Amino acid sequence: MENINLSREIIKNYNLSKKHLFKKVAGNAKFYYQLQYDNNLNNDLIEISKLYNTNTSFKIFGSHTNIYITENGYNGLFIDINPQKSKIIFNKEKEEFIVSANTLTSKLVNNTMNLGYDFASLTGIPGMVGSGVVGNASWSSKKDYGKYVKKVILFDFKECKEIEIIPNEYFFSIRNSFIKKENFKETRYFVKEIILKSEYIGKEKVKEKYLEQINKRRESLKIGFSEGCAGSIWCNLDLRNKIGKGLKEIITNNPEFNINFNGARYSNNGSRFFITDNTTTDQDVAKLFNFTIEKFKELYNIEPIKEVLILDYDGEIDLHTFIKRYL
Ligand SMILES: Cc1cc2nc3c(=O)[nH]c(=O)nc-3n(C[C@H](O)[C@H](O)[C@H](O)COP(=O)(O)OP(=O)(O)OC[C@H]3O[C@@H](n4cnc5c(N)ncnc54)[C@H](O)[C@@H]3O)c2cc1C
């Protein structure tokens, strides 16, 4: 870490407990940094790339609405993207939007609505546009992020340079993307900017679609944020594709899921998502996840897919590693 020269201070032993909604206790990040969209951004990215392929790993986060951090914290550099100075530029000729990755999805939806372009399927998705693209976010089976993406401008930490990718048909999949897969072991790509395109249908029509979606989501989003739940530990769209039902319906119809491992449970409200209490440990969560997997196998003969990123001391880990380590 001594060899890198970032434009602002790197904080040591930073407690990560406030970095997620649905997990009350988390360990420390060995190093913490706020990445800003200012004149130093390019220099900072070049400096961070020096950590690629070294013993200090790093991970980049947006609004933290889709991450789970363990009690052991993270023995690397936790990079937070600051949402300030985000930009949406409209290229009138091409009818495309050039959007900085730190833009909030809510801002994208509102700004484009005013110009009459239809991004209404992204209504109510929390977090940043860059993260939405990485996770190919969407609501239920409606048009996902990938359907709007024309080009992604990435910083490649391995090659230490900016590159552009025009996604092909394999780039996006259900709540997943080429970037998310490539960044699993080591963070290779930073999403810097995205070129998005959508249909012009006029402000009134977009507003109608926006209101329809927000009215369906309003109550559950409100509960979600006040309770502090995970939007999706389990990939809802995958469940719908495999068994024709989403998590809410499945949990409501099967009282066996009303189980509580010292606070690790599914909410009684809203979309019935995953929540925890102040005393819930990773072991309790591992018990709930293990129980859920076994129940799904027993009831539907499938294994549910995890959606959130699990961050442990050595970086991102998969669901079975988490269960093995903490059960
Ligand atoms: C109440 C609630 C409702 C939700 N509803 C939905 C929904 O309708 N649809 C849906 O799809 N999701 C939903 N989510 C999940 C989550 O909000 C989305 O996945 C969102 O896109 C995450 O954005 P974020 O900025 O919080 O990302 P984070 O949680 O900070 O990060 C998510 C991932 O993106 C990566 N990442 C972030 N920025 C960059 C970057 N610039 N470059 C490279 N990698 C990056 C991170 O490393 C991580 O892998 C919901 C969550 C909650 C709590």
Between the CA of 2 and the centroid of ligand 1 the distance, in Å, is 31
Ligand 1 atom nearest 175 alpha carbon: 11
Residues 307, 34, 155: CA angle, nearest 5 degrees: 70
The per-residue pLDDT of the chain, averaged, comes to 95
SS3 assignment, position 130 = helix
Ligand 1 and 138: CB distance under 6 A: yes
Ligand 1 and 76: CB distance under 6 A: no
In a domain, 40, yes or no: yes
Ligand 1 atom nearest 140 alpha carbon: 8
112 and 202, same domain (yes or no): yes
Look up tokens 């018990």; give the residue: 287
Between the CA of 297 and the centroid of ligand 1 the distance, in Å, is 27
Look up tokens 């699990």; give the residue: 310
Tell me the residue length of the chain: 327
122 and 176, same domain (yes or no): yes
**Which residue type is seen at 232?**
S
Residue where a domain stops, chosen among 40, 55, 81: 81
246 and 310, same domain (yes or no): yes
Closest CA to ligand 1's atom 19: 66
Residue where a domain stops, chosen among 81, 101, 125: 81
Q: Please say if the pLDDT value at position 140 is more than 90.
A: no
Instruction: Band the pLDDT of 42: cuts 50, 70, 90.
Output: very high
Spell out where 6-73 has E strands. Answer: 11-15, 28-35, 58-61, 67-69
Between the CA of 9 and the centroid of ligand 1 the distance, in Å, is 26
In a domain, 258, yes or no: yes
Instruction: Band the pLDDT of 195: cuts 50, 70, 90.
Output: very high
Record the pTM. 0.96
190 and 234, same domain (yes or no): no
Q: Please say if the pLDDT value at position 59 is more than 90.
A: yes
Ligand 1 atom nearest 220 alpha carbon: 1
Least confident of 9-18, 19-28, 283-292: 19-28
Alpha-carbon distance values, 128 to 124, 132, 145 (Å): 12, 6, 12
Q: Please say if the pLDDT value at position 1 is more than 90.
A: no
Between the CA of 65 and the centroid of ligand 1 the distance, in Å, is 5
117 and 227, same domain (yes or no): no
Q: Where residue 318 sits, what CATH number does that domain have?
A: 3.90.78.10
Between the CA of 64 and the centroid of ligand 1 the distance, in Å, is 7
How many structural domains compose the chain?
3
Question: Alpha-carbon distance 82 to 72, whole Å?
Answer: 25
pLDDT at 3: 84
Residue 294: exposure state from Cβ atoms within 10 A (0-12, 13-18, ≥19): exposed
Bridge-based pairing state of the strands 96-100 and 28-35:
unpaired
107 and 56, same domain (yes or no): no
pLDDT at 232: 82
Structure tokens at 307: 């959606």
Instruction: Band the pLDDT of 308: cuts 50, 70, 90.
Output: very high
Residue where a domain stops, chosen among 29, 55, 81: 81
Range 250-270 average pLDDT: 94
Ligand 1 and 60: CB distance under 6 A: yes
169 and 144, same domain (yes or no): yes
pLDDT at 231: 80
pLDDT at 221: 92
Ligand 1 and 239: CB distance under 6 A: no
Domain carrying residue 129: 88-209
**pLDDT by residue (tens digit) across 152-181?**
999 999 999 999 999 999 999 999 999 999
pLDDT at 53: 86
In a domain, 6, yes or no: no
pLDDT at 270: 87
Between the CA of 145 and the centroid of ligand 1 the distance, in Å, is 12
To test the pocket of ligand 1, the residue of 22, 100, 134 to mutate (highest count of ligand atoms within 8 Å of its CB) is 134
166 and 184, same domain (yes or no): yes
Closest CA to ligand 1's atom 52: 231
Bridge-based pairing state of the strands 74-81 and 28-35:
parallel
Structure tokens at 67: 């991450």
Q: Where residue 146 sits, what CATH number does that domain have?
A: 3.30.465.10
In a domain, 238, yes or no: yes
106 and 203, same domain (yes or no): yes
Range 247-275 average pLDDT: 93
Instruction: Band the pLDDT of 149: cuts 50, 70, 90.
Output: very high
Question: Alpha-carbon distance 322 to 293, whole Å?
Answer: 13
Closest CA to ligand 1's atom 12: 137
Between the CA of 92 and the centroid of ligand 1 the distance, in Å, is 29
193 and 251, same domain (yes or no): no
179 and 228, same domain (yes or no): no
Range 230-254 average pLDDT: 91
**pLDDT by residue (tens digit) across 73-98?**
999 999 999 999 999 999 999 999 99
SS3 assignment, position 16 = coil
Question: Alpha-carbon distance 163 to 49, whole Å?
Answer: 14
Ligand 1 and 221: CB distance under 6 A: yes
In a domain, 281, yes or no: yes
Ligand 1 and 231: CB distance under 6 A: yes
Between the CA of 93 and the centroid of ligand 1 the distance, in Å, is 31
Q: Answer for the pair 309, 67: CB distance below 8 angstroms, yes or no.
A: yes
Look up tokens 């409209």; give the residue: 90
253 and 225, same domain (yes or no): yes
In a domain, 186, yes or no: yes
Question: Alpha-carbon distance 233 to 275, whole Å?
Answer: 10
In a domain, 15, yes or no: yes
Q: Where residue 24 sits, what CATH number does that domain have?
A: 3.30.43.10
**pLDDT by residue (tens digit) across 276-286?**
999 999 999 99
Q: Please say if the pLDDT value at position 10 is more than 90.
A: yes
Convert 252-273 to b/e letters by CB count within 10 Å (16 or more is b): eeeeebeeebebbbbbebbbbb
In a domain, 3, yes or no: no
Residue with the bigger pLDDT between 103 and 23: it is 103
Question: Alpha-carbon distance 145 to 196, whole Å?
Answer: 9
